[in-house]
Amino acid sequence: MKNLLKKELSELFNPQMLMGLLVSFILIVMLGFVMTSSVSESLEATGEVHIIDMDQTGFTQQITDYLEEQGYTVKKISENSGNPENPAYETILKEQNWKEAVVLPSGLMDQLLFEHTSCELHAVRVLETTSTVSVMETGESSAELVRDAISGLLMKNLIGESMAYLENPVSFASYTIANGKTVRANSFSLVSSMAMFDQLMPLILFMLIILTSQTIITAIGSEKTDKTLETLLSSPMPRSVILGAKMLSSLIVAVVYAAVYGIGFATSLLFTVDKTAENVNIGEAFSEILSTKQAMQTLGLQISGIGWVGVILQLILTIGIALVVSTILGGFVEDAKGSQTASLPIVILTMFPYILSMVSDIRNMDLPVRILLYLIPFTHTFTATGCLRFGQTGIFFGGLLYQAVFLAGMIFFALKLYQSDILFVHSLGKKSAKSKLIKR
């Protein structure tokens, strides 16, 4: 029993597995560090309240004092009312380096304290990402806190007024800034309309890469165990054709898997929408869709036809890289047992940027982190639509060029590897070592 256990453990704890574990550990620690930094920045931002004061009265100062007494850091600037139909909020927020702010309009004190009528405030937000998690982290915190402060002050100053007015003395008009333009629209509605593709595509791509790599590495490992790979490579057929057939068959299997998962996901989404639509006014929903589309056009968030061609090309390059790298890794697999360990580098290098693209925005991370992530060829596809929507075409086409060069290099290496006798020598060396062990 002892010797058998020792034998099994020695087969499982091989150098490939230990190297995979080491790489996994390093990448997971790095992922945790990046996510912690992102969360810390969000937590720091939630303690600040940004106010654009266009009323400039004693009451607005009371709002500031009230919030500071609650422990919040208030950053306030005073501005003239300007043009209410076309407010230059993008200029103000850019100068102050703010991501969101609440605007106290001119006449706020008169409306609330003397006329006792509800007043409309403007909640302004800079939109830089299509990640719903990133948008939800900050939310409209300044607007909510200012509303609570106004409600608290009115309850002290207007004793006897109706509770309905005191609890909701203000309403909000949402303004969104993107690509240097401002439009009256809710940032959550805009992100929700873009997230259907911007987050579904990375999910399907992630599954495609994982399934493709595991399929081709397992197939090569099984062929090495059955000695059919040596027979194939020894045949007169060009080895480039053999490699192409293997990669194409694995791609077809992966596409079938991805299609099934994608259809299943879309079907569940349609059922959810259909169930929700029972309680929704169709006219209002259609009007909201049109207004959201118009807002996206105004902000320049829609992707052009040429942009979509580039996205599709980037998808093709990404799948090609996964296929070629998997073929290279599969060549060093001794048997089917080692296929799972061999695919670990691809799994981790895909999972790392995928998770970060879901919970944060890679394009806005610190420069050293971005450089490290952009060295991973799969990262560029996860950030492709974001780059095109927010005017970072240089990063997009640079990533496209990097992927093309990386793929060409991997194809050259794979052809050299399979046209040489390294794989045969590697297998014979392993076999010789096993023979010596048996003789002993």
Under a CB-based contact definition with an 8 Å cutoff, are residues 176 and 186 in contact?
yes
- Chain segment 392-424, per-residue pLDDT in tens: 999 999 999 999 999 999 888 888 887 776 665
In the block, residue with structure tokens 């930094």: 37
Under a CB-based contact definition with an 8 Å cutoff, are residues 303 and 130 in contact?
no
Half-sphere exposure of 169 (CA within 13 A, CB side): 26
- Chain segment 362-395, per-residue pLDDT in tens: 888 888 888 888 999 999 998 898 899 998 999 9
| Dihedral angle over CA of 266, 267, 268, 269, nearest 10 | 50
Note the Cα 285 to chain centre separation in Å.
27
Under a CB-based contact definition with an 8 Å cutoff, are residues 299 and 183 in contact?
yes
398's CB contacts (< 8 A; 6+ apart) are none
- Chain segment 258-276, per-residue pLDDT in tens: 677 667 766 765 655 455 4
Note the Cα 428 to chain centre separation in Å.
45
439 has pLDDT over 50: no
The region, left, alpha or beta by phi > 0 then psi within -120 to 50, assigned to residue 320 is: alpha
Nearest residue to 120 (alpha-carbon basis) of 47, 175, 70, 82? 175
126 has pLDDT over 80: yes
Tell me the pairing of strands 170-178 and 181-183: antiparallel
Residue spans of alpha helices (H) in 47-140: 58-69, 89-96, 108-109, 132-138
- Chain segment 282-309, per-residue pLDDT in tens: 555 556 667 888 888 888 888 888 988 8
For residues 32 and 84, the model is more confident at: 32
- Chain segment 232-267, per-residue pLDDT in tens: 777 777 877 877 787 777 677 767 776 776 677 667
Q: Which of 45-59, 168-182, 269-283 has the lowest mean pLDDT?
A: 269-283
First-to-last CA distance in the chain?
19
Please state the domain extents for the chain. Answer: 47-193, 199-439
Q: Which CATH superfamily is domain 47-193 in?
A: abc type-2 transporter like domain (3.40.1710.10)
93's CB contacts (< 8 A; 6+ apart) are 99, 100, 101, 124, 126, 177
Nearest residue to 202 (alpha-carbon basis) of 248, 298, 291, 133? 133
> What is the C-alpha to C-alpha distance for residues 186 and 179, in angstroms, rounded to an integer?
16
- Chain segment 13-56, per-residue pLDDT in tens: 666 667 667 766 776 676 666 656 555 555 455 578 889 998 88
> What is the C-alpha to C-alpha distance for residues 59 and 24, in angstroms, rounded to an integer?
56
* DSSP symbol at 364: G
What pLDDT is recorded for position 216?
80
Strand order in the sheet with 170-178: 73-78, 48-53, 100-104, 119-126, 170-178, 181-183
The pTM of this model reads 0.76
How many residues in total does the chain contain?
440
What pLDDT is recorded for position 435?
40
